[in-house]
Amino acid sequence: MIAIPAVDLREGACVQLVGGSYANEPVRLDNPLEVARTWARSGFHRLHVVDLDAATGRGDNASIVRDILGEVPAAIQVGGGIRSGDTIERLLQEGASWIVLGTRALEEPEWLAGTASSFPGQLIVAADVRERQIVTRGWARTLSRTVLDVVEQLNDIPLGGVLVTAVHREGQLAGTDLFLMEDVAELSVHPVIASGGISSLNDLRELADRGIAAAVIGMALYTGALDARSVAEEFAT
């Protein structure tokens, strides 16, 4: 299993939110490019970069994303407000290794299927989950489908992975939702990336034991609850 630091962008800064709430932002760093470089220097080979402003229609951080793609020596998956094939193509040309799709991919399955056929293996569907229900539009809308319903539907689409974020654990350093992640890993034919609540090496080991391919880590790295170099050494590949 590989560990992937999160670089969440908001208003030109690198931030961390608690519980998916924009009103609860305990971490804000003014130089996202340097943050990304720091994770690469610590030994991480892959980064998760998300434009929160683009995801919620509050502007974008496109220039910062472009700088990270061009200057940080890591494989980078980019997400946040990506809702067109043209944007996907542009980001891939700028150096993204994978594109993370959320709201439109989940709300318009036919669009996802057609888009994935144009970019096989390069798209990751992000299923943000609150108590097993799918939430979209920056966690503001709850869909009627459960995460397991969605994962089963995604099995026939040529994706590069499925990213499941336990929003109810996000940023709280309370441990991951192991039961959720285990159920998803058993059902999905795609590599599963876990996110939300990861706070210890033991959390990472338990995810690995359950067949999770990768884990996105945010708050635990930014607060020092997890030592970056130790994580990178044990979960580099």
φ and ψ at 137, to 5 degrees? 55, 55
| Contact call for residues 152 and 189 (beta carbons, < 8 A) | no
Q: What is the pLDDT along the chain (237 residues), one digit of tens a residue?
A: 999 999 999 999 999 887 667 778 789 999 999 999 999 999 999 999 999 999 888 999 999 999 999 999 999 999 999 999 999 999 999 999 999 999 899 889 999 999 999 999 999 999 988 888 777 666 565 656 889 999 999 999 999 999 999 876 555 556 788 999 999 999 999 999 999 889 999 999 999 999 999 999 999 999 999 999 999 999 977
2-234 in CATH: which number?
Answer: 3.20.20.70
Question: What is the model's pLDDT at position 82?
Answer: 95
Question: What is the model's pLDDT at position 65?
Answer: 98
The reported pTM is 0.93
For 197, what's the count of Cα atoms within 13 Å in the CB-facing half-sphere?
A: 19
Long-range own/partner contacts, residues 34-40 (CB < 8 A, 24 or more apart): 35/7, 36/7, 36/68, 36/72, 36/74, 37/71, 37/72, 39/5, 39/7, 39/74, 39/221, 39/228, 40/72, 40/73, 40/74
Q: Which residues are known catalytic residues?
A: 8, 128
Instruction: For the chain, give every domain's residue range.
Output: 2-234
225: closest CA among 168, 157, 173? 173
CA distance 234 to 226: 12
End-to-end CA distance of the chain: 6
Question: What is the model's pLDDT at position 154?
Answer: 97
Question: What is the model's pLDDT at position 18?
Answer: 73
DSSP three-state, residue 74:
coil
Number of H helices, E strands in the chain: 11, 12
